[in-house]
Amino acid sequence: MKNPQGSWAGAHRAARPAWFATGVAILASLVALVLSSGRAIAGPNAGGTLILHTDTGIVYTDDEFYIGLSGIDCGFATDCPPSNSGSCQSGITAANVDAHDGFDPQVWWVFAAFPTQACPILSSVSFGVYYPESQLELWAMGWDADTYEPYGNFPWEDATGIKFHFDQPRRSQLVEICFFSGVVLSGQPYFSLGGHPLGGGDFYDDSAVPITDPIMGFSSLGFGTSGYQALPGGGGAPLGACCFSGGSCTQLTYDDCMSAGGTYSGDYTDCATSCSGGGSEGACCQPDGTCVVVPYENCLNADQYYHGDFTTCESWSCPVGACCLPNETCTVITYDACWAYGGTYYGDGSSCAGVNCSAPPEGACCEIDGFCYIATSFDCWDNFDSYQGDGSSCSPNPCSQPPVGACCSPSGTCQIETGFDCDSMGWSYKGDYTSCSPSPCPPPPGACCLSNGSCSFVTTLECTTLGGTFQGGGTSCSPDPCPDPEGACCSSAGSCTILSSSACTSSGGSYQGNGTTCAPNPCPEPTGACCLGNGTCSVLTSDGCVGVSGSYLGAETTCSPNPCPDPTGACCRSDGSCFVTTSALCTAEGSSYQGNGAVCVPDPCPDPTGACCLSNGTCSVMTLVACVDLSGSYQGNNVVCNPNPCPDPSGACCLASGTC
């Protein structure tokens, strides 16, 4: 069932319509499945308890919805530890479990309470209620949850249970769960919280497989007597019925009961039903309006009404009125008898005079959502709606219109609706009088592709914070919508291309990392063999090779074995001619090597020399040109002066005799 900020009110008569019990029975098996899940240890809700609070100055009326009116609520939190921890802990301390035992209807609230340093994530809670029906009658209840699963005739009967679920997990250390209203019929009863009748009492977080933390303590509200508050982090043992010889009974803890010599009936048991020999009786209204004082067990028929132990007929009346029975006859009986017989009750003090049972009067009937329809008073009450009186009309609508508030769709859009209409659409109601400006609706999460290629299911804001690309609200990470991440891929030639890591590897490139770019080029310049002028080889870049006047053989070429040719240079022959060859060849022919890289233009070779015979017969090694300049006789290239090739000079010789 769903009913945000819902309530059951005006349903405090002893009898119940048949559909209520049937519907609850259908739900019971579902609840059993929910409550049979395994229990985790030390989840975010560990150490929490259920506490109770009442304000004895508040008298219940049908016109008020009491969620948020406890006076100890500390609001919502979104951080950890909660920023409202101080006010929450003050609220826990201020909670009051001592109610009065007067006959005015009272209101009390149920809260989940957590220790000071806790960071709760409360998505669901299950528990039971335990009270003596003969001494305490519940009139109404309301809740702040989004969905609920009742077990048994919850809460109208003792030992019934419920599980509440919040669409938006509560994170405060004090969380309002629901409220009850009721009236003391007799004695000084207790209203006790306890484990769910199907087993356990638990808090659940919002995990896909919820982490379950056991509720560590349950509180009891005492009417005219001291209650028990199960404070988080400690607070004592729960109370139960302690029976003594002679039939007397007192609500005590187990240890106190044992110390007093009593018999302990169990945690959260009550004295009204646990200890025999009390002999309690009370006023019982009969169908015809007469009153008798009998034990409770003698006033169990649907057409009777028991006012509670120790009540008297002098203190309680049994009003009667006209009742149209299903056979269209009219009789004057009590309201409870009329209800039990399936009749239409015309009100206390009414008579059958003038009543036409073949056509029971109709009037306007108001639903909790403000919708008006025409029905008999019985049908209206049977639906737990509010009858406006015989002959009343729906035009104009006499029904109080429910408050409206922000209603969030699954896609994150917001519009103003009543809580009922919002829930009917399957949307999430944010509370009465809340606004769509600014929008309280969280954006729907979706697939977010991160820079590393992974996919994360987050909101668009979270995706932006992570530096990802949001794929759209409601998109899924299964199948993975995210492409492989890309980055700069360096080829062996030093070129750069944007590829995925796998594509880069398959092409033989070197991947530079996700998100890297080719501007500026991150790829190192390729190297190769560079042949230098002296014939040696060095591995250099192309630019480096040019810088040393080398010859670049290409990227990824190597120097082993040496690919460079022997160096060449100018070779001067003895005749002065010049040609380019290697040093080895030049030397082999007896010529003069001018060095690696030496060229023949301009000619580096000196003119050849030879013996020059001068006119005086002497010999000198010089070039032909020099010899001619001296009027000598050049003997040829490479001719030496030792031995002297020059003839002795001749000329006139004057002898002593005067001859020549």
Q: What is the pLDDT of residues 125-145, one digit of tens each?
A: 999 999 998 899 998 899 988
Read off the amino acid at residue 109.
W
Between 578 and 381, name the one with better pLDDT. 578
Lowest-confidence region among 32-41, 191-200, 339-348, 376-385: 32-41
Q: Which helix (H) or strand (E) holds 639?
A: none
How many angstroms separate the CA atoms of 118 and 232, rounded?
10
- 3-state secondary structure at position 179: strand
Q: What is the DSSP letter of 582?
A: E
Statement: residue 52 has pLDDT above 70: yes
For the chain, report the end-to-end CA distance as a whole number of angstroms: 164
Between 170 and 383, name the one with better pLDDT. 170
| Residue from 77, 138, 83, 64 nearest 112 by CA | 77
| Residue from 184, 206, 187, 203 nearest 195 by CA | 203
Statement: residue 482 has pLDDT above 60: yes
- What is residue 24's predicted lDDT score, i.e. its pLDDT? 31
Confidence of residue 148 (pLDDT cuts 50, 70, 90): confident
Would you call 411 exposed, middle or buried from its count of C-beta atoms within 10 A (0-12, 13-18, 19+)?
A: exposed
Q: What is the DSSP letter of 102?
A: S
Between 31 and 634, name the one with better pLDDT. 634
- What is residue 332's predicted lDDT score, i.e. its pLDDT? 95
Q: Which helix (H) or strand (E) holds 140?
A: strand 136-143
- What is residue 166's predicted lDDT score, i.e. its pLDDT? 93
Confidence of residue 35 (pLDDT cuts 50, 70, 90): very low
Question: Can you point out the beta strands (E) in 11-115?
Answer: 49-54, 98-99, 106-113
Statement: residue 343 has pLDDT above 80: yes
Confidence of residue 270 (pLDDT cuts 50, 70, 90): low
Predicted TM-score of the model (pTM): 0.38
Domains of the chain, CATH where assigned = 7-236 (2.60.40.680), 281-360 (no CATH), 608-647 (no CATH)
- What is residue 30's predicted lDDT score, i.e. its pLDDT? 31
Two structure tokens written together for 247? 């039939």
- Beta-carbon count within 10 A of 556 CB: 12
Q: Percentage of residues in the chain with pLDDT exceeding 70? A: 88
Per-residue HEC secondary structure of 241-290 comes to EEECCCCCEEEEEHHHHHHCCCEEEEECCCHHHHCCCCCCEEEEECCCCC
Alpha-carbon Rg of the chain, whole angstroms? 55
Confidence of residue 271 (pLDDT cuts 50, 70, 90): low
pLDDT in tens, 489-533: 998 888 899 998 889 999 988 999 888 999 988 998 888 999 987
What mean pLDDT, rounded, does the chain reach?
83
Number of continuous H segments (helices) and E segments (strands) in the chain? 12, 43
- What is residue 335's predicted lDDT score, i.e. its pLDDT? 86
- What is residue 173's predicted lDDT score, i.e. its pLDDT? 94
Statement: residue 23 has pLDDT above 60: no
- What is residue 274's predicted lDDT score, i.e. its pLDDT? 60
Statement: residue 327 has pLDDT above 60: yes
Beta bridge partners of 94: none
What average pLDDT does this structure show over 358-384? 83
Confidence of residue 17 (pLDDT cuts 50, 70, 90): very low
Two structure tokens written together for 99? 């109610």
How many angstroms separate the CA atoms of 635 and 428, rounded?
125
> If you write DSSP's letter for every residue of 291-337 in order, what string do you get?
EEEEEGGGS-STT-EEEEET--TTT----EEEEE-TTS-EEEEEHHH
Statement: residue 550 has pLDDT above 80: yes
Statement: residue 655 has pLDDT above 70: yes
- What is residue 351's predicted lDDT score, i.e. its pLDDT? 92
